[in-house]
Amino acid sequence: MSTRSSRRGSTGFEVGGTYRVPPGALVIGANVRSDTHPGAKEFAASIKARGVLEPITAWVDDDGRLVVYRGQRRTLSAASVGTPDGLVPVQVVTRPAEVDRVTDQLVENVHRAAMRAAEERDAIEQLSLLGVSAAQITKRTAITRPKVDAALTVSASQIARERMDAAGMTLEAAATFAEFEDDPQAIQALEQALSWGRPLEHTAQRLRDARAEEAALRAHAQLLRGQGVPVLDPQDVPDRAWTLHLDALVTADGEPVPEHDWPSVPGAAVLLRAQWAYPDERDDPDTSNTDGDPDGDGEPALRFVQVWICTDPQAAGLRSRYDSTGTTTANTSADDEDGVSDNGRSRRAVIANNAAWRSAQTVRRAWLGRFITRASVPAGAETLICEAVLTGQYTLSKAMGESHPLLRTLLGHEQKSPATPLATPTTAKAATVRTLAAVLASWEASTGVHTWRHPTAWDARVMGVITGWGYQPSDVEQLLTATVTSDTGADDSDAA
């Protein structure tokens, strides 16, 4: 414990005293910690909003200046972004011996314990119980709004709290489990993803999309029932329903049932099949061999196809057109949902991978939106930019011709207006990051379900690079780097 000294220097600073001084007046002394994390936006925002709460420790040099002993990060951030009153608290200590300085700074940094996620959750909950809104918690603490929301979500569920504490989950992971607390199958899928080390975000997004798709299907089914169409609920669809399609059934004489007579067939019913299709696309995009919309000129939309079936072909006097014995068989290979439909892949696998890709797109674009606002240039960025430009990547030239629509969306600039220009960076680093963002966004805009089916060398290149920069790809996205079936449309020999 330090002893307060009664001696004063010529500057008026007393050893043991605490003073409020401008951060710019402090001198940064030697420190074992060289990385001050200048990109820590939350830390800087907290300093700006609340000031420096823990006093900076400094000693007085021969020229009467205060030299920072402990607290260089606080000092630099305060000098950079300011504090509410423009001052920081400084406690003056006796000038330490060099051995003591190095020892103290090393011990302070090595043994500093980070705040546990559970402690952060409970503190945020306390603020909420005191009447502080989520927006105010974010403003007062500089903790991001998504993390505050996650903490409040978990705090509201005792099961989620217990799971988080028992498994040592992050707030975000615990909040994801809380989101699906009422769905045992979803919880099982999340637990499986966690145990297998798979990105939880992808599993959660796939569950969200499946839930939304089922809700849309039920709503459409209800609408059709109001129009007199005998639509079955998903849980009422018979097993192996593809063997019951009326377009594959015939009479005892081998004659097909006219389509206009289907509603009057005994046991006739309709099942809805959800399909995703690009504008004006006629073929089933989930099973056809076409590439859908490879130029990215439109976004796929969910549509529902009515499939008429006969729930009891025998009672209706019908049989499979592929059955010569006169009885309905389950081996109708033409309509078998496991039949081959795309480069040797089963129809079931294609549908599953297409759905997985659409879900992964949501996660990937959210990650890109965060990544392109970073302050530092990631390693290898210049190389990727050079390659995109010098090989004449079509995705980049197309985006340039359209004024980078997806980049504007990711940056929050929805309108193509001079009021929101893209080329506004003021430093070389910022300009490099913005150019990299244009390259990544142009590639992203060109992707679709065709990308996993027929990945190009450029697809593999970009996916490999962003994975190296911290993106966690889903299983279907990993197919891009596993197999490349076509070239990039440019001469790769020109790549730098």
CA distance 7 to 4: 9
H/E stretch holding 276 reads strand 268-277
Asked if residue 488 has pLDDT above 50, the reply is no
Could you tell me which of 141, 117, 137, 139 has the C-alpha nearest to residue 129? 137
CATH number of the structural domain 18-110? 3.90.1530.10
CA distance 411 to 405: 10
pTM of the predicted model, to two decimals? 0.70
CA distance 489 to 387: 13
Q: Work out the average pLDDT over 386-400.
A: 94
Reported confidence tier of residue 32, pLDDT bands at 50, 70, 90: low
Burial of residue 141 (number of CB atoms within 10 Å: 0-12, 13-18, 19+): buried
pLDDT tens for each residue of 315-352: 999 998 887 554 444 444 444 444 545 555 677 888 89
Q: Where are the domains of the chain?
A: 18-110, 117-208, 230-337, 358-494
pLDDT tens for each residue of 195-254: 888 899 999 999 999 999 999 999 999 999 999 999 998 888 888 888 899 999 999 889
Q: Work out the average pLDDT over 74-83.
A: 89
Distance of CA 39 to the CA centre of its chain: 21
Asked if residue 127 has pLDDT above 90, the reply is no
Residue 282, pLDDT score: 54
